[in-house]
Structure 1
Amino acid sequence: MFTEAMAMNTTKRTGQGHGWTGSDLSRRVRGRRTALGLSRDEVAERARMDPSYVDRIETAPVALTGGDLIRLADALDTTISDLLGAHPEQPAGHGRAARHPVLDTMREDECRRLIEPGGVGRIAFQLVGRPYVVPVNFAMHDGAVVFRTGATTALGRYGTGAVAFEVDRIDDGMHEGWSVLIDGVARQAGPHETAQLRKLLDLEPWGGGDRQVYVVVEPEQITGRRIRTW
């Protein structure tokens, strides 16, 4: 049984003709149908579904069977992975651009809102005179980026001073996404600050190992861009 709860977090979005939709799957189905110029009735006929069921899929969280997803993806000339936004074995951003892409510059407050939950970002720093970029699990604390590394790693030895930090989110199914770039200064937290951060933040590097060095990136400039369709 495929359910939206298994595939993505529930979010509120504004939709055409409805006050909100219940999930990313709803948004992807509605967006793909609109891009193809199909009505809900036409999609329902293609997918051998009741039109009211298609309407519900587009406006509220619905538990879909594997068969439902296969027929819906076929009706929309796409794949199940695109509908669910899941392509684990390939880089994000494959395929062609949307038919009507719009590139927007985001304000700093929107950038901060997007990265506030933390997650995975990329830290760029100088290593022997050359740029070096590594992914890290990060959290936000008092407006600063915080991540953990090992004392003997390249990041632990050389990843202080002027740095860049980038976070992005790509939605392959909708051909949309955003990117936030932070220019700032990185420093290693001292013993007292490290103890505080350890208590306050649930920050566990996926890489494992001995990563007891807390690095704090104080932003000097935060910029971002969002690509969307209309």
Structure 2
Amino acid sequence: MSEPVTHPGGEPLSEDRCWEHLATSNLGRLIVVVEGRPEVFPVNYAVGDRTVVFRTGEGDKLAELTVYPNIAFEVDHVDETLAWSVVLHGRARTLTHYDEIQRAEELDLHAWAPGEKYNFVVIEPADLTGRRFTRTPA
């Protein structure tokens, strides 16, 4: 009987598995550059057509996405036996076309934070990577 294959840095996930994991959650971390410094913003999101969509209001995050659209986005999960992390690098853009906004509306995405969040932002992936870890008992 052969020994199971282990991956010291975690088992790499296929792109399909990454999208499956992203679809099981709705809270991620958006990493953008604000005034030349990386900042992390928790955002609730939805997955649609192999993109990530979130809503936001006017402010630093939206302004910086316009100036520096290259972003990173991370989602993870941990339970008693399993942990995984998915990282997406891509470009963010505010949806402006009626048909795109209509498709985003169909995702039934509602902002969690108070305030008006009229802007839909889509993250179009350039690359997507993920790792899965089997947790060992403490």
Q: Shorter chain as normaliser: what TM range?
A: 0.7 to 0.9
RMSD: 1.9
Q: 1:108 to 1:194 in 2, by over 3 A?
A: same
2:128 and 2:7 mapped to 1: Cα distance? 23
> Rg: which structure is higher?
1
Corresponding residue SS for 1:180? strand
Corresponding residue SS for 2:103? helix
* 2:130 match: 224
State the 1:159 CA deviation: 2.2
Percent identity over paired residues: 37
* 2:120 match: 214
Corresponding residue pairs, total: 127
State the 1:118 CA deviation: 4.3
1:229 and 1:139 mapped to 2: Cα distance? 27
**Which structure shows the higher strand fraction?**
2
Unmatched runs of 5 consecutive residues or more in structure 2: 1-5
Contact 1:117–1:139, Cα closer than 8 Å, also in 2: no
Letter in 2 for 1:222: L
State the 1:191 CA deviation: 4.4
Letter in 2 for 1:139: A
Q: Which gives a bigger RCO, structure 1 or 2 (Cα 8 Å, sep 6+)?
A: 2
Corresponding residue SS for 1:208? coil
* 1:168 match: 76
1:114 and 2:46 are equivalent in the alignment: no
2:44 and 2:125 mapped to 1: Cα distance? 17
Letter in 2 for 1:110: R
2:41 and 2:132 mapped to 1: Cα distance? 23
Q: How does 1:24-43 map to 2 (within 5 A)?
A: none
State the 1:106 CA deviation: 1.1
Corresponding residue SS for 1:159? helix
* 1:205 match: 111
2:83 and 2:45 mapped to 1: Cα distance? 20
Contact 2:83–2:135, Cα closer than 8 Å, also in 1: no
Q: For residues 162-208 of structure 1, give each alpha carbon's deviation from its aligned partner in whole angstroms, at most 9, with x where no partner exists.
A: 0000000011x33x31000000000000041223322x111111113
Letter in 1 for 2:15: E
Unmatched runs of 5 consecutive residues or more in structure 1: 1-99
Contact 1:117–1:140, Cα closer than 8 Å, also in 2: no
State the 1:105 CA deviation: 1.2
